[in-house]
Structure 1
Amino acid sequence: MNLKNLTAALAGGAVMAAMAAASWAETTMEKIVRTGEMTIAVQTQGPPVSFIDKNGERTGLAVELAQMMADDMGVKLVVQDYDWKGLIPALTSGKADFIAADMTPTAQRSMQIMFTEPVFFAETVAFVKEGSDYTSWEDLNKADVSLAATQASSYASAARKFLPEAELKEFSGGTAQAVQAVMSGRATAGVTDKATLSGFQSSIEGIKLLEGELNREPLGFAVRPDSVHLLNSLDNYMRLIRIDGRLDEKIAYWWNSTDWEADHK
């Protein structure tokens, strides 16, 4: 065999070996089956989606949905806490099997990860400290207004898009930090979703919801691009519990009301 043919043969062998290795690589679902554990990444402070309740237990809408799925699969649920900006890196680095959070499937995020079908929806709203003269979110589009929003969130994106004249201040740690910034006077107003804000309104006096909605967003869970089996399983499970009523029950309790506060705060 001459050198040219030998080189071609070696190159072909390398390609075949790479293809074989790829075919033998363990999928995320296979790993879950083998270990008997399903690991999710959740936001550290994100009631009513994910938070520590009065009993010191991790709970919330996303956590309970993931726990239901783990129970029905017969595996253990492992929950890992991250700041909002740490969720995608935790997933892509392999620390978590999927993100269980109220994440919007934006075009930029979809370049890194794959999203489930929408699990629930959120209305993006603005809020101020009571006593403020602002009545509508549209009143905030001024150069002397500062807006607080969760760092790298769709709320921050909505603020940039719909309130471009205002100054945007991004905070890690979720809506709790944005609320604190507004109440302490470090920001004129905040931007978040209506369900999350209602939880803060019931526990913190002096938060004023402004009229109108900036937008309405679909929210879902997310997996790595190579986790197609897990993605299909998540979509299938959400369809199943939507049909049997369990999904609507969880959304009604956690997302569309503040009934959960009596049990968990």
Structure 2
Amino acid sequence: MLDEIEVDMRSRIPGFRSAVMTPLVVLALTAACGGTNDTGSGTPDPSGANPGQPSTLMLTTDARLGSHLVDGSGRSLYYFAKDIPASGTQAAVSNCNAGCLPIWPIFDADGAVAQGINAADVGQITRSDGSKQTTYKGFPLYYYAGDAAAGDTQGEGVNGIWYVVHDPTYSIAQLSKANEAATYLTDGAGRALYSFARDTVGTRTTSPVTACTSGPCMTSWPTFLTDQVTVPSDLVAADFTVYTRADGTRQSAYKGHPLYYYAGDTAPGQTNGRGVPGWQTIDPTAP
């Protein structure tokens, strides 16, 4: 994690000249976030909101990234691909800690006012250090210290694991486990997607052919289908297609590989299907 932060600081934040995070560097990064107000959790408040006043969550539109979430002053909000989003009774888990937080300050807006979004999609978690963090559709929210002004989206795609919070929600995304460098494809809620080595991969002129056709296989490996492909900037929407299987049902594919869930994954962040012969999660950075 520290290596990722240091690379990010060198490449993204103007004027950064040292990989050593001195107190002056941390203070400079805090100022770059738009203010030094205290959120009450020991984390800088980049929004510049008055203490005790409810913050605002709303949408803005970017010519490159489309509609995405910002605070009331127009500062972009991000999600972290190494976090575990909430699902059902499972609370979200933030994996941005210690050296990560000066670069990606948390967005903490208890009682935030939702404008143009569903207030039911806004939540809150208690982090491991006891501080509070706002979530949107299950994902913890962050600022980026390299954004100097409202409308900036310099944090988009940093290290392939930080992205603006798109609305409508990404139908296909990518997450990464906290202890892994590689990312893997998920649906918009963070559930892992898989490919099957025995499938016939589709091409530009031929459709894929699935080898998972028996009842037991389809029960263990339900098909994934989305007709609306909305993806982060590191993914290419055209790489995702829909084809019709021999049984008449439709299924999504990525670069010609049919996509599946695993019934043994019961929550976001789980990749239990990796241990099943012939099945694997999908690294979108692989050739």
Please classify the TM superposition score into its range, dividing by the shorter chain length. Answer: under 0.3
TM-score (norm 2): 0.25
Structure scoring higher RCO (CA < 8 A, sep ≥ 6) equals 1
Higher helix residue share = 1
Question: Which has more radius of gyration?
Answer: 1
